[in-house]
Chain A
C-alpha cells in the first residue's frame, strides 16, 4: 500500500475525505461501541424482528440505509441548519429515508414488509440513528459521516443477524426457511421464537461481548 501521508485511512488509503478516521470509525461502530451490544440501543426492534434470520438481515439493511442517508444529509447541512430546529430537521430527514425504504419494501417484497410490520416505520424513533446524527454527523464531514452511519448500521445488522441466526435455528430448526436440523431428532425450542427468547439470546451475546473485551470499562463517549 502506498502511504501518502502520516495518517492512513482504511477506505481511501490516504488522509482524503475520511479525515483519517476511517478505520477507527468502522471499528467503533461495529465492535468497540456497538450500538446494540455495548450501548444497548435499538433494542425494541432488535428483539421484535429477530425470530427469523431473513427478517433480521432485512431490518439490519433498513437501518444501514437510513443511517447512512441520514448521516450524509445531516452532515451536508450541518453548517446551514439553524441550531434551534436541528432535531426537527434530523427527524424529517430520518423519516424521509425510513418511508422510502418502507415503500420500496411494500412494493417489491410484500411478504417481508408484512412480517416486519410496524418495525420498519419505527426506525424513525430508533435511538441509534438520531444518536449518530447528533453525536457524529453534526460535527463531521460528509464522507466520514456516511462511514460512521455504515459502521453503526453494520454493527446493528451483525448483532441482529447473530440473534436471528440463533433464534431461527433453535426455534424452528431452519435457516432462511430451509430445514437444517431434521425434525426427527430436533424438537424446536419455541421459547426462542417468542420475545423472551430474544431477551435471553441478546443477554448471552452481550455477556460474550463483555467477556471478550474485558469488564465493562466506561467508554469516553457516553450516549
Chain B
C-alpha cells in the first residue's frame, strides 16, 4: 500500500489524539487520589514532628482529617509555623528548614516548645546522604538527641552545634562519627533557620 503525506499526517493525528484521550482519562481517574496522597504526605511529616498520634496505615483522607482537626497554621513574621497543642508539652510550633547536603538537598522540620527556644522534636524527612554515615541523620537515634535541647547556647549565641567530643552543652548534639561533611551542612542549615526564628520571635524570647 502506497501511503502519501496526507495519510501520514492523518495517521499521526489520529494516533496522537487517541493517546491524548487515553492519558487524560487515566489522569482524571487518578486525580483525586494523587492530590490526596501528596497532601497526606506533607501532613504526615508535620503530624510526626508535632507529636500528634495518628494511624500510620490510615488512608490519605483520614490523615487529612486528623490534620484539619489538630493542627493550625500561624504566620510569624514571614515564617509559617504549624501549631498544635500537645497534651503534655503544651503549645508546639513547627517550621520547615532546608539546605544543601553532601550529596543532595536536605529538608526537615523543627518543632519548638512555646518558649521558642526549646526543641521538642526534629525531623529530616528528605535526605539522600551516604547510607550508614550521613544517612543516619534521619535515624531515630540521631533525631531523638535533639529533644529538649536549646537553640541558643549558654552564652546567648544562636545555633545548634554537632560536636565529636561529647555533647555537654544545652545546644550541643553528638555528631555522626565519620560524617563530618554532612554534620557541617546540617549545622549550617540549622543555624540559618534558628537565626530567622530568633530574629522574628523577639516578643516570645526569654
A residues with CB within 8 A of B:
77, 79-85, 88-89, 92-93, 95-96, 99-100, 103-104, 106-108, 110, 190, 193-194
Bound Cα distance from A110 to B33, whole angstroms: 10
Cβ of B23 and Cβ of A89 under 8 Å apart? Answer: no
The answer, among A84, A103, A190, for a CB contact under 8 Å with B131, is: A190
Residues of B within 8 A of A93 (CB): 15, 19
B199 within 8 Å of A (CB atoms) = no
Cβ of B33 and Cβ of A193 under 8 Å apart? Answer: no
Cβ of B22 and Cβ of A100 under 8 Å apart? Answer: yes
Cβ of A85 and Cβ of B8 under 8 Å apart? Answer: yes
Q: With A82-B3, A82-B7, A190-B131 known to touch, is A107 a contact of B37 (CB < 8 Å)?
A: yes
A-contact bits for B32-61, CB 8 A (1 contact / 0 none):
011001100100000000000000000000
B27 within 8 Å of A (CB atoms) = yes
Residues of A within 8 A of B19 (CB): 92-93, 95-96
Cβ of B16 and Cβ of A104 under 8 Å apart? Answer: no
Bound Cα distance from A79 to B16, whole angstroms: 18
Cβ of B23 and Cβ of A99 under 8 Å apart? Answer: yes
Residues of B within 8 A of A92 (CB): 15-16, 19
B77 within 8 Å of A (CB atoms) = no
Cβ of A103 and Cβ of B26 under 8 Å apart? Answer: yes
The answer, among A85, A88, A95, A107, for a CB contact under 8 Å with B33, is: A107
Residues of A within 8 A of B11 (CB): 80-82, 85, 89
B132 within 8 Å of A (CB atoms) = yes
User: In chain A, what residue has the closest Cβ to B27?
Assistant: A103
Residues of B within 8 A of A96 (CB): 19, 22-23
Residues of B within 8 A of A88 (CB): 12
Q: With A82-B3, A96-B19 known to touch, is A106 a contact of B34 (CB < 8 Å)?
A: yes
**Smallest beta-carbon distance A36→chain B, Å:** 25
Q: List 16 A-B contacts (CB under 8 A).
A: A85-B8, A85-B11, A85-B12, A89-B11, A92-B16, A96-B23, A99-B23, A103-B27, A106-B30, A107-B37, A108-B30, A110-B41, A190-B131, A190-B132, A193-B131, A194-B131
Most chain A Cβ neighbours within 10 Å, of B27, B34, B41: B34
**Smallest beta-carbon distance B125→chain A, Å:** 12
**Smallest beta-carbon distance B203→chain A, Å:** 39
Cβ of A110 and Cβ of B37 under 8 Å apart? Answer: yes
**Smallest beta-carbon distance A50→chain B, Å:** 15
Bound Cα distance from A79 to B26, whole angstroms: 28
User: In chain A, what residue has the closest Cβ to B132?
Assistant: A190
A92-B15, A100-B23 given; name 20 further pairs at CB < 8 Å. Answer: A79-B1, A80-B11, A81-B11, A82-B7, A82-B8, A84-B8, A85-B12, A88-B12, A89-B11, A89-B12, A93-B15, A95-B19, A96-B22, A99-B26, A100-B26, A107-B37, A110-B38, A110-B41, A190-B132, A194-B131
User: In chain B, what residue has the closest Cβ to A194?
Assistant: B131
Bound Cα distance from A110 to B26, whole angstroms: 16
Bound Cα distance from A193 to B132, whole angstroms: 11
**Smallest beta-carbon distance A197→chain B, Å:** 11
Bound Cα distance from A190 to B33, whole angstroms: 35
Cβ of B16 and Cβ of A103 under 8 Å apart? Answer: no
